[in-house]
């Protein structure tokens, strides 16, 4: 089978991981790279050691006859126009999170992809982290029973030393603490607990620490969530903390508990008296080189070849984004917000 051509838009930090992920896949080849200038695209191609056509016009890149997959690695406020154009051009899509900065734009992407019937995956890349995969398998094996309460928290100081800081602090691009970063935690909660979120309530605050001056929104939030079946959850998102990166997972089930890579399940381990620890790769870094983009890209390719839908396509990712928009609205209005919006 001939390799599928990939066109990547964006020349920032994360685009390098998109390039590497598709270059190592036997079924794909990066054939085009689009930047704000051709020089920027050439520089990124040279940095990643690839040879491809370069563009400063996204529409022209989409018209490239060999591009079958559009990989969108630009800041969030550009995603709606780029993703809709890719769908309308019949291209399969790998889309960076956040998928959009407004719920209207997220709906436009969801509807365009659905109408075009192209395959898609949104970069909630932690779904392919080994710990996430272990937790999902333990839940499927009924190790802890039905989860009644789940907590997934994101603590990562995003200051001037972090490459996305310049645009992340802007409300019309980064949007909020939960959207710019903590959405990984909310998506993780949805992924582990399943079911539909019915209501959210958020508190938000701003610590005003010196390294984090300039944020146009509260960098610290705590969101409570209620599922339609009565189960509850909590997501904290703090991007103004001075500490190592921490991604907390605590899932309390009917007959056991999972806490990060620790499992307590007398049903599966008779006589267990303390946590059983699984040595594995944890979601413990904000460095994009640590994230499993290779596995995510391979998953998208498998969906294309097998004509199947991803568990993390734009239709599913929309649900995570809708919950984030609802939570941020709650934080602004000071009252619970019902879903769907």
E strand or H helix at 251? strand 246-253
Kind of pairing between the strands at 337-338 and 197-205: antiparallel
Q: pTM for the complete prediction?
A: 0.97
Q: What is the C-alpha separation between 7 and 300, in angstroms, rounded? A: 14
- For domain 127-286+320-338, which CATH number applies: 3.60.21.10, 3.40.50.720, 3.30.360.10, 3.40.50.1820? 3.30.360.10
Domain extent listing, the chain: 4-125+293-311, 127-286+320-338
Kindly report, residue by residue over 129-176, the tens digit of the pLDDT.
999 999 999 999 999 999 999 999 999 999 999 988 999 999 999 999
Of 129, 329, 330, which is closest to residue 247 (Cα–Cα)?
Answer: 129
Q: What is the C-alpha separation between 211 and 191, in angstroms, rounded? A: 33
Q: Does the structure show a pLDDT above 90 at 85?
A: yes
Q: What is the C-alpha separation between 115 and 99, in angstroms, rounded? A: 17
CA dist list (Å): 262 to 116, 223, 234, 251: 43, 24, 19, 11
Name the band, by pLDDT with cuts 50, 70 and 90, for residue 123.
Answer: very high
Name the band, by pLDDT with cuts 50, 70 and 90, for residue 1.
Answer: low
Domain at 4-125+293-311: CATH code: 3.40.50.720
Kindly report, residue by residue over 226-277, the tens digit of the pLDDT.
999 999 999 999 999 999 999 999 999 999 999 999 999 999 999 999 999 9
Of 50, 90, 55, 52, which is closest to residue 70 (Cα–Cα)?
Answer: 90
Q: What is the C-alpha separation between 180 and 325, in angstroms, rounded? A: 12
**What is the gyration radius of the CA atoms in the chain, in angstroms?**
20
Q: What was the pLDDT predicted at 2?
A: 83
């Amino acid at each position: 089978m001939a390799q599928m051509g990939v066109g990547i838009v964006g020349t920032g930090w994360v685009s390098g991981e998109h390039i590497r992920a598709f270059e190592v896949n036997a079924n794909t080849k990066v054939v085009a790279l689009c930047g704000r200038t051709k020089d920027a695209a050439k520089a990124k191609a040279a940095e990643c050691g690839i040879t491809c056509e370069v563009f400063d016009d996204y529409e022209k890149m989409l018209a490239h006859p060999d591009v079958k997959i559009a990989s969108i690695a630009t800041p969030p406020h550009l995603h709606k126009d780029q993703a809709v154009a890719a769908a309308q051009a019949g291209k399969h899509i790998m889309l960076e999170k956040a998928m959009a900065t407004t719920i209207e734009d997220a709906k436009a992407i969801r509807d365009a992809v659905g109408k075009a019937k192209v395959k898609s995956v949104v970069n909630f890349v932690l779904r392919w982290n080994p710990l996430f995969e272990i937790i999902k398998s333990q839940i499927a094996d009924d190790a802890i029973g039905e989860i009644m309460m789940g907590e997934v928290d994101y603590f990562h100081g995003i200051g001037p030393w972090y490459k996305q800081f310049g645009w992340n602090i802007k409300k019309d691009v980064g949007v909020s603490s939960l959207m710019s970063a903590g959405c990984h935690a909310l998506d993780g909660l949805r992924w582990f607990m399943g079911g539909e979120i019915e209501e959210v309530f958020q508190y938000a605050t701003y610590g005003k620490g010196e390294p984090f001056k300039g944020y146009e929104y509260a960098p610290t939030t705590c969101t409570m969530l209620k599922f339609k079946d009565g189960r509850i959850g909590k997501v904290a998102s703090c991007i103004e903390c001075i500490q190592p990166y921490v991604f907390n997972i605590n899932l309390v089930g009917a007959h056991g508990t999972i806490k990060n890579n620790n499992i307590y399940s007398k049903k599966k381990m008779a006589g267990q008296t303390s946590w059983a620890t699984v040595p594995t790769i944890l979601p413990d870094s904000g460095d994009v080189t640590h994230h499993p983009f290779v596995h995510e890209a391979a998953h998208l390719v498998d969906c294309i070849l097998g004509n199947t839908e991803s568990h993390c396509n734009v239709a599913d990712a929309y649900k995570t984004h809708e919950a984030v928009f609802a939570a941020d609205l709650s934080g602004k209005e000071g009252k619970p917000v019902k879903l769907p919006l």
